[in-house]
A and B are shown apart, each in its own frame.
Chain A
Amino acid sequence: MRRKASETTWPACRASGGFPRVHGTGLAWQVVLCVLWACAVQAQEGTLHIAYDLYLDRAPPLHCRAELASSKGLSVFYWNNGEGGSEITSDDFGALQIQVRDSDPIGTVNFADRGADSLYTRGSAFNSPYLLAEPLPEIRWQLDAETRQLGGFTVHKARAAFRGRSYTAWFCPDIPVPVGPWKLQGLPGAILEAYDEEAFFRAVFRSVRQSPEAYIPDPELFRVAEVIDLNGFRELQENMAGELIRKIRSKLPRGAQLNVEETSAEFLERAFGER
């Protein structure tokens, strides 16, 4: 399930005969992805940038600015960046309060490559970055006739179930790229707003612009110690809350207690049966 990046090999790159499918995963992600991106933007129209306000109703809730950069089949979605770590406060009853954030300054990055049918997600768990490699999800969108205006654009409604949640997306055919926030994509137009029916996830369009210059992601984004596939990610996620609680609880002084709430429902992805 898990491999050290330095122990894996990547025999080919897209420019020299096809982008490898993620089922094999590989090494040196930072170098390969950077080269691919540079090739793509030179041959294309520049870069499309869409900014979102992104909310995750987890504990603590995430409210951050997210940005999507897209160009010819490639897209990078940045979010959840910020200082990770913990904050310790004590209340007037002498109780020690600890809040741990799972983000880091780089944040979470979703890199989608339609040509290679691949999606790479750079994330952080306990200050250890990981790279999840998976096939580009095939989201079966149900198109709805409903339309509305959003930021001067006419957006169309579509719905789909994905990784255990039911999403509604509003996409804009006037921005004819099949991209969207996080892992939501595959509609004939950029997704400008998306949310799930439990109001756990919400991405709201904030701005859009185009830039003629090439957009090259920082290779540091993909410098990770561990490359995992979807099963590995599921394991990591299942263990993450429990592991975190165990770490904190184990460090508490005598008599101090940690109230453990149900945490499994707080994951954005909670079913992995579909692609």
Chain B
Amino acid sequence: MKSAVVFLLVAGLCSRALAQATVSGYTSDLDGNPLAWVNVRVLSEPDSSLVAYAFSDESGHYSIRVGRPGAYLLRFDAMAFRAQDLPLQLPESAVPVVRELNVALPPSPLELKEVVVRAEPAVAVGSDTVEIRVAAFATGSERVAEDLLKRLPGIEVGSDGGIRVRGRAVSKVLIEGDDLFDRGYPLLTKNLSAEVIDRVQILKGYTDNPVLRGLDNSDAVALNIRLKEEVRGTLFGKGFLGGSPGVYETDLNLIRVRRQHKAYFLGNLNNSGRDAMGDLNALLHPKVLPEAPQSGDELPLPSFLPQQTQQTGLSEMRSRSNDAELASLSGLFGPLEGLKVKGHYFYSGDEQGHRRSGREFFRTDSLSFENTETERARRVSVLQSGRLTVLYTTRRQRLEWLFGAQTSQLRMRRHLLFNRQPVSEDSRENAWQAHSRLSYSRRLDSSTAFQLALRYQFDRKPLRMRLGGIDWGTLTPPGTSGEPLWHHLSNRRELAGFEASVIRGRGKLRGRVAAGYLFRQSALASGFDPQGQGGGLLAGPAYRNRGLNRFSRLHGGVRFEFVGGAWSFQGGFTAQYLTNRFAEGRVEEDKTLALVPSLTLKWQPGRSHFVWGNYAYGFRETPLQEHYAGYLPGGFRLLQRGLGSFQKFRSHRWLLNYTFGDWGDPFLMNTSLLYTRNPDYPGSDSQVRPELAFHSAVRLAGQDHLSWNSSYDQYVRGLKSNFKLRTEVQVQRYESSINGVSQQNSLLHLQVGPELRTVFDGGFNAHGGLKWMLTRFRGSGLSRNRSQSGFLDLEFRCGAWLVELSNEGYRYRDAGTGRAVWFTDLGMRYSPNPGGAALRVQLSNTWNTASLSKRSLSETGRFENRYALRPRQLLVGLDFRF
């Protein structure tokens, strides 16, 4: 049957108006089999507009209602069947009209041709940029940039101001395409008014160098804030003003942004113990190397300024007095298209103090003694830094020149009672440093780029030390013991180098081939002042240094990354040809060819398992600062010297990490195993006397270090709490020589600690934990140290009030009385308007705990120290924004 057979039965009566018409019937194929899910549409005759629709059920029955009289077309269509149209005339009627229309649909071949369209995305998504117009998302209640960013799709802002895009932390926030704040971007996003923002761009695969975009392994994300035209030039900022009798703390941030120039000022004054550098630390000392470290980036000149070796293990705010002042000004100027000039200057001054008293218990087979020390230390620092960067960028090329200079004056004064005899140590380091870098990048094609970088660095860290009251024994002329003694040290280095690299990235494989050359010249000179005491043995050659080192490195290497499915490999090697020439009385030369490989393997077979392993081979040659043969003072009773000859050291490191579960799973486990093997290493050969110690660095063989760390989390839903367990095991083995006797040292450190953290929805939560530690040191004898610590943090929230009570306690069982020491800090914050002014009250060291006793172990015995702590301190202040 080729045409449709239609049966029309009229079962209603016509009248002037149509009360209700119901059309029903059956759909079938030409064989009479019921057709289910046939579209039945009522189309109005004049314009074919859709009036009503229904579908046939599994038996082929359909029913459809029409509310108005008129001429219609009843259309039946279904996939794989030819559509059928039936005319439907519904007259005006006062009573319901019922009609029955049955239809049989002829088959039709599959005629739906494949169609592919390009749909417009909801948000403008480019290959490496997503642009969001903020007006579409703003509600008008946003005060600052981060309020607005929270509303944008895919962007989250944490309580610390850190910004994430799809979970990845953004590396930078640019303003009008310029990086003014580097990694200290919360200073911008917490202060920039939301009203001035027009658009926000998410820059995927962000790199500092736009010419290299898409080629390196960067998965970094950055945000670019575009301002409204009419608001450029706004001055904005925030501040804090607080204090109490004897304590003050102030903060001020000012920002001004215009199209051609941008400026930012930060100032801080405090004696509350707070680190004045604060956010600026991240700006000045990022924890990560630049994306493409260049020759010289990894080589800081070491300082010989004596460091504080005994640490409390507490936050420095607990034990440090300070008087900090800081000012910083950053600016950017763009006079021409593609040309930008950036400048930065900052000044930081601080005066910090520590107090300590302690005893050293020295125990070897040949010598045992006990020393007492009472110390007052004061560290005064003044640091100034300036940096100028000129950038010229075109579509395919970039030229960057950077010049920076820094001066610092550090003075460390220590006054001691050493075995009840007054001893003083006064060290001054007036350092200055300058560096310059010129780099050129050129994009060769879509997957390849070339880069050339030249670098020069100049560094000086001279040190002058005055030592008084020390019994030098036979080293000084008779009758001069205890008189002041001066020591001078000159420490400088210049380095220059270049590196050329080709960077290529395509598909799953990315790589970099680089070659370069580095030349470094170092000079180290030191000696005791020949006047006064210095006329004795201390004026002799064993206590002087006049060393010069010229080092050059010619290197070439390959690094690659391959990502495929659950596996990823990162690897590479560097071939180095090193020449080293030392001149210190005699001349020593060496030439070495070294191949340094590294390999990282990651495997993630499923969401619950993640394994990664890494092997790294290390090779280094001793710089001059480890080479010096003459003794120099390392503190008030220590004379130290370097290896005295040129040495090369190798190392092997294996790391294996396994993670089971996820942060969103009830159970999460993370465990890692690290093993380091140093076939040879710089150890120590010490001659120790109660009043003086001589340390010589010597080459020793066989050092092993094994550590195993694990953490286990189990979340209990019913209790809304998480139980955590952390374990740590460390085993270390190395050799040393003391008073002519060689000894094997071994260290075993065990640590275990449970924690409980509640996550109630209400206004109260708690987080508490305990930690037990056992350290066993086997050197000249067997020493053991056991300690416990615990904490309990309580948090109360009520409306605009937030109250936090932080408690922590420590008990060192083998030190002194073994009594526990407790600290409690109380913090209150009242914020009537979120994002507006807030009142802050902070009470630190509530119980006015005066000191902390702590024990530490060494290969020759142990130290027991008592540290003076900052007394109870109240700080009341106001956060404000303008």
Residues of A within 8 A of B (CB): 44-46, 48, 53, 55, 57, 59-61, 63, 72-73, 83-95, 97-102, 104-105, 114-115, 126-127, 143, 145, 150-153, 156, 173, 175-178, 187-189, 193, 195, 199, 202, 204-210, 212, 242-252, 254-255, 257-259, 261
> Does B239 sit within 8 A of A, measured CB to CB?
no
Chain B interface, number of residues (Cβ within 8 angstroms): 77
Residues of B within 8 A of A (CB): 36-41, 49-50, 53, 55, 57-58, 77-80, 83, 110, 112, 114-117, 119-123, 125, 136, 150, 153-154, 156-162, 164, 166-169, 183, 186, 279, 282, 286-288, 606-608, 662-666, 668, 713, 715, 717, 720-722, 724, 755, 757-759, 761, 767, 769, 791, 793
Contacts of B791 in A (CB 8 A): 254
**When the two chains form the complex, which single residue of B41, B159, B663 contacts A88, counting CB atoms closer than 8 Å?**
B663
- 20 A-B contacts, Cβ less than 8 Å apart? A45-B80, A61-B153, A84-B607, A85-B664, A99-B164, A114-B55, A126-B665, A151-B117, A175-B79, A177-B37, A178-B37, A204-B119, A204-B120, A205-B119, A247-B722, A249-B759, A250-B759, A254-B791, A259-B158, A259-B159
- Closest B residue to A116 using CB positions: B58
Contacts of A95 in B (CB 8 A): 158, 160, 162, 169
Bound-complex Cα distance A153 to B115 (A): 9
Contacting pair A92 B721 (CB below 8 A):
no
Contacts of B119 in A (CB 8 A): 53, 193, 204-206
Bound-complex Cα distance A199 to B302 (A): 57
Using known A-B contacts A73-B36, A99-B167, determine if residue A250 contacts B159 with beta carbons closer than 8 Å: no
Bound-complex Cα distance A262 to B534 (A): 72
Bound-complex Cα distance A271 to B553 (A): 69
Pair count A-B, CB < 8 A: 216
Shortest B169–chain A CB gap in Å is 4
Contacts of A244 in B (CB 8 A): 664
Shortest A213–chain B CB gap in Å is 12
**Chain B interface secondary structure, helix, strand, loop or mixed?**
loop
**When the two chains form the complex, which single residue of A59, A72, A89, A247 contacts B664, counting CB atoms closer than 8 Å?**
A247
Using known A-B contacts A245-B759, A250-B721, determine if residue A176 contacts B115 with beta carbons closer than 8 Å: no
- Closest A residue to B279 using CB positions: A93
Contacting pair B41 A173 (CB below 8 A):
yes
Bound-complex Cα distance A261 to B146 (A): 13
Contacting pair A242 B110 (CB below 8 A):
no
Contacting pair A212 B37 (CB below 8 A):
no
Contacting pair B122 A127 (CB below 8 A):
no
- Closest B residue to A193 using CB positions: B119
**When the two chains form the complex, which single residue of B157, B166, B169, B663 contacts A248, counting CB atoms closer than 8 Å?**
B663
Contacting pair B39 A202 (CB below 8 A):
no
Contacting pair B162 A250 (CB below 8 A):
no
Contacting pair A44 B39 (CB below 8 A):
no
Contacting pair B721 A127 (CB below 8 A):
no
Contacting pair B162 A85 (CB below 8 A):
no
Contacts of B79 in A (CB 8 A): 44-45, 48, 175-177
- Closest A residue to B57 using CB positions: A115
Contacting pair B114 A92 (CB below 8 A):
no
Shortest B32–chain A CB gap in Å is 15
Contacting pair B55 A91 (CB below 8 A):
no
Contacting pair B663 A247 (CB below 8 A):
yes
Contacts of A92 in B (CB 8 A): 183, 282, 286-288
Contacting pair A97 B759 (CB below 8 A):
no
Contacts of B279 in A (CB 8 A): 93
Contacting pair A55 B168 (CB below 8 A):
no
Bound-complex Cα distance A18 to B779 (A): 83
Shortest B828–chain A CB gap in Å is 16
**When the two chains form the complex, which single residue of B77, B608, B767 contacts A176, counting CB atoms closer than 8 Å?**
B77
| Most chain A CB atoms below 10 A, which of B121, B160, B755 | B160
| Most chain B CB atoms below 10 A, which of A176, A199, A246 | A176
Contacts of B162 in A (CB 8 A): 91, 93, 95, 97
